[in-house]
Structure 1
Amino acid sequence: MRRISVLTLGLSTALIACSDSNLIRNADGAYDESDTGASDDTGAAGESPDDDDDGASEREDDFIKLLPATTNQYIFVVNSARDTVSRVSVPSLQVLTVEVGSRPKVVRTTADNQRAIVFNEGSDDLTILNAETLEATVVPVLPYLNAMVLSDDGVWAVVYRDSDEEDDGSTGGAQSFNELSIVNTVTGDHFSEVVGFKPRQVKFTEDSSRALVVSDEYLSVIDLSGEDPEVQVVEIAEDLLDPPPAEEIEVSPDGAYAFLRQFGEDSIALVDLNTLTVDRLPTGQNPTDLDLSPDGASAVVVSRGSNELYVFDVENPYGAPEVIALPSEEFIGSVQFSPDNTKAMLYTTAALVDHYTTWDLATGELTVRPLIKPIQSVNVTPDGGALVVFHTEADAEGADTTSEFYGEWAMSMISLTDFRRNAILLSAEPTAYADSLDGRWGFFVMEDKPFLEVLDYDNLGLTEIKLRSNPVHVGVLTGTSYAYVNQDHELGRLSFYDPDAELLETITGFELNSGIEH
């Protein structure tokens, strides 16, 4: 490993006083590498929902592909084109860049803040960095893998080939679609295991004692509690010759049950993780979304085909579910809970529908509300005070062709107190988004546009900050409301913005000890 450069940028007093913040991702509000198998098609203008449900998957957007990782002191940012990782210290904003393997794809930090784990797709290895000293341990993994998931305790990394993700394909003579790598990030030990064909998702139990690998036919349960991982495979598809796509998995907080949704099935699979038995829970026609409530007490299934919600008791999932009829004229396939567990948003991303429904969890009241355009992705702010909707470029059937928003990208901020909204016309598609944990500020960037967009959730206002080059992704520094933007620049460029002080500072050429700009 070679250290390339060190630069320090002064931190304002206003920044030091900022409240806690963190990265968030997409419609879930929490980063998860899972892919639901949903289509990326936002539809052509004028496309409308099919009354018989045309079978399209709901879309859950992965806004940030090269998501930075945080500890209580540092931010780690992948520079994939330059085979490096940059560490930003908080609050000094000192930047230190180190070389890692070829084509680093993702970096994750461990829960104890001691290590940063980098998956290098080009060199087929992990670089395990000491967060403080940046000393590196390199662990080879199997070739042709393209995704990594880290356990909550930070001890285990599972590297696998995500069948839903595009990659460069095999250049060798043989390739397995069943093998994955398991790495103990503390000891550096590597284990190769065989799981179901073409894994779609990997998830850990909350106590990190098991890793669950989902493929269409099987759920592979990997016991991580012993010295070496042990794999058991459970059949989850009733038709092994033509299994339905496995799109989602949710795990009960106590690790007792796994709930699996398979596209097109009129039930979900319930796996008892202690006995490894599988049961089917009826859910109505064509369930298209599965989520746990924020308190972990309920598993909620949206059955788009029968226009119903099925609410299961997580502690007793075999009991009769509560069945809630949705508004008869609505086309609803997704659910998004507010973090405070008081309300949920019901909507679709599979058709061009320009309205959504709010669900009051205390009273059960369902209210249909308008939007300016159909939905591409949805996020509730961390404090539950506002709803952020990024819209499709395409329009709903019958949309006003004279509207300023017709045929354009747009987003909306909506108060979840009185439901007033601020609809904003965008010049390009949004590509990355982050919130401060206090729920005051949001930030996003757009494709090939040199701007940082700042959202003030207190008044639903927007401020546009000019950048010196096009952004790659955006995040929030640990323990602050301070945004950072990694930009497309051959020498490396990072900008930091303090929304309270309205201060932008930029480091350019941090890999080659180049200039600091203010």
Structure 2
Amino acid sequence: MKIKSLPPLLFALALTACGADDGGGGLATDDPNGGYNNGGSDNYADAGAAAPSDAGSGDVFVPEEEEFLVREVATTSAYVFVPNSSEESNTVAKIDGRDFSIEPIPVGQEPTVVRAASVDGVGDVAYVLCEGSSTVAIIRADMEVDRPEQQVNLLTVPEEVNSLALSPDGRHLLAYIDPDKPLRADTSVASLQAATLVRLGDEPKDDAAYELSVTRLIDEIEFTEDGEQAFIVGREGINRIYLNDVDADRFVPPLPLDLSQTVFPPKDLEIEVSADGDFLVARSSEFAGAALYRPPTDAAEATLRLVELSAIPTDIDLFLEEDGSPGVLATLRDSDELAILDVEATLEAAEDAVPEPEILAVSDTQPGLAQLTPDGEQVLLYTSLVTTPMLGVLDLGERALRAYPLRNQIRSVAVSNDSDTAVVVHRKQEGQAPSDADPLTFFQYNHGITLFDIETGYRRPVVLQGEPADLVMTQDGEGNALVFVMQQSPDPDFRGITRIDLESYRTDFFSLARQPTQLGVVAGKVFVSQESEEGRITFIDVATSSQRTVSGYELNAGID
């Protein structure tokens, strides 16, 4: 394999000093400047996990723990849709984020999962899984009607389904069985292969639902960027569905990948699908390499190419080179390398002449996971397994690497839409810090995040009094980037929202009367749902930080 030498590594030996606390709940800690692990790969045991194995050593492979705190919520640009959580409920609250008006919408029994989108030609639409009546309710929120129920169309789905996946254009929905979620007590567990494709019509009379038989024990569902195809990844293979072509109930055969189940076991398989559905790449914990696959078309047979690597990939990601050609990033944690695969060259090559990937030696980082910035120009490299990790920044155009140490184990990483700032959420270490703990130890034994300026490498650790359970990034009216972190805590004084200005790093905390449960953005405001039998949402103006609470919507009450 080709080993490419990188430009000199910019290696930060100590964290940038931090300022004093700028606001209520988030406390900026002082820089310890000492006793810091230099980022070597010998500290995996710090996190309580076994050291990652060498690909050929026969040791047990330790997977990375990737977590995403930015969660999917049922919002459009104007509305928040909240299911009534009371027993034997049959309503969803449609809350207008512009004027805080509340409208209870009758749907099916026991609404649980909601997805929403703005659909061209139709307006704002919400899809509601009503598990008590085995239906999906389609709510056309902008339809002018005399009564709220006239906005709703109910379609039947199998009683086993417990989750929803929505296509990017909002016109197709897959209701399926998520094996990680509980099934209703009165449903059958004999088959975990049932799913339903729901298609939104231009008019309610054109809505349709088709029952599908697909792979068992679904791990993930991916849609193409145009919303025309869906790929269902599960224990028995991968189903490809041309969404607009389905016009009846049907069995969907798996793609003929012909991957060995000993090398690519279905229970440990990561798949990434290209935006246009032209190809996919797979990795598993049993193979030191990756598989590139081009599905069959009317004009050509399927193509499968296996690319051997120096270690088992712990993560794979798709990206575009500067010339627009597709590539694959594979992190090789055990060999401290990053492999870059040329998709077209690999798929076009003969089976016995697969080109060697480009290999970047990244020994000063810990390349367990990779996350592309939204602009696609850089990739962040890190591991979730060590107590004092390194965060690497690789410029994909220049192939230039910089690396910086962080103070605590990484739980999750989110990048702002402008690709300027990363928010690193840390994992609080078990136990309590001693009363005489140094700043580094204190940070590790408390909840916290690090704000990371990607261009300069400046890091701003922030201690949080509650557990960070969700976060959103947005902008104020002047275009300044902001992050809002939802904190949960048994202590009423520490549950609420931390607002951070990513231009000045000012930190402000807003306490909430009830435990927060969900965070999102609607109509230029941040909203946070809270535990409440009668329903409770607080809206925070991103520019002024003024608050307004809507409560009692499950009982059709009013505004505080």
**Is contact 1:291-1:335 (8 Å) kept?**
yes
1:214 alignment partner in structure 2? 233
> How much is the aligned-residue C-alpha RMSD, in angstroms?
3.0
Cα deviation 1:355-383 (Å, max 9, x = unaligned): 22111223222222111101000011111
TM (norm. structure 1) is 0.82
Cα deviation 1:219-244 (Å, max 9, x = unaligned): 11122232526633124463347824
**Structure 2 counterpart SS, 1:404:** helix
Change (3 A) 1:114 1:48: closer
78, 100, 113: which is aligned to 1:105? 113
- The 5-angstrom pairing of residues 290-301 of structure 1 reads 290-293=316-319, 297-301=326-330
Counterpart check, 1:393 vs 2:434: no
Distance 1:156 1:177 in 2: 21
Change (3 A) 1:89 1:160: same
2:57 alignment partner in structure 1? none
Change (3 A) 1:152 1:313: same
Change (3 A) 1:126 1:490: same
Distance 1:228 1:262 in 2: 35
493, 510, 514: which is aligned to 2:553? 510
Counterpart check, 1:238 vs 2:259: yes
**Is contact 1:289-1:334 (8 Å) kept?**
yes
199, 208, 225: which is aligned to 2:218? 199
**Is contact 2:425-2:450 (8 Å) kept?**
yes
Bigger shift: 450-459 or 303-312? 303-312
Aligned residues: 470
Structure with the largest fraction of helix: 2
71, 74, 80: which is aligned to 1:69? 74
- The 5-angstrom pairing of residues 153-164 of structure 1 reads 153-163=169-179
- The 5-angstrom pairing of residues 21-420 of structure 1 reads 47=48, 50=51, 52=53, 54-63=60-69, 67-81=72-86, 83-101=90-108, 102-112=110-120, 113-133=123-143, 135-163=151-179, 165-168=180-183, 171-172=186-187, 175-186=190-201, 187-228=206-247, 231-236=252-257, 238-240=259-261, 243-273=265-295, 274=297, 275-293=301-319, 297-318=326-347, 320=355, 322-328=357-363, 330-394=365-429, 402=438, 403-420=441-458
User: Structure 1: where are the runs of 5+ without partners?
Assistant: 1-42
Q: Name the larger-Rg structure.
A: 2
Change (3 A) 1:404 1:328: same
1:422 alignment partner in structure 2? 460
Change (3 A) 1:324 1:394: farther
Change (3 A) 1:315 1:450: same
2:516 partner amino acid: P
1:496 partner amino acid: F
1:234 partner amino acid: L
Change (3 A) 1:95 1:149: same
**Structure 1 counterpart SS, 2:253:** strand
Q: Return the offset for 1:83.
A: 4.9
1:455 alignment partner in structure 2? 500
Change (3 A) 1:103 1:78: closer
**Structure 1 counterpart SS, 2:335:** coil
**Is contact 1:213-1:221 (8 Å) kept?**
yes
Change (3 A) 1:477 1:330: same
1:85 partner amino acid: V
**Structure 1 counterpart SS, 2:136:** strand
Change (3 A) 1:317 1:465: farther
Runs of at least 4 residues of structure 1 off by over 4 A?
43-46, 314-317
Distance 2:163 2:187 in 1: 19
Distance 1:121 1:461 in 2: 44
**Structure 2 counterpart SS, 1:511:** helix
Bigger shift: 305-314 or 229-238? 229-238
User: Structure 2: where are the runs of 5+ without partners?
Assistant: 1-43, 55-59, 350-354
TM (norm. structure 2) is 0.76
Percent identity of paired positions between Structure 1 and Structure 2: 26
**Is contact 1:106-1:120 (8 Å) kept?**
no
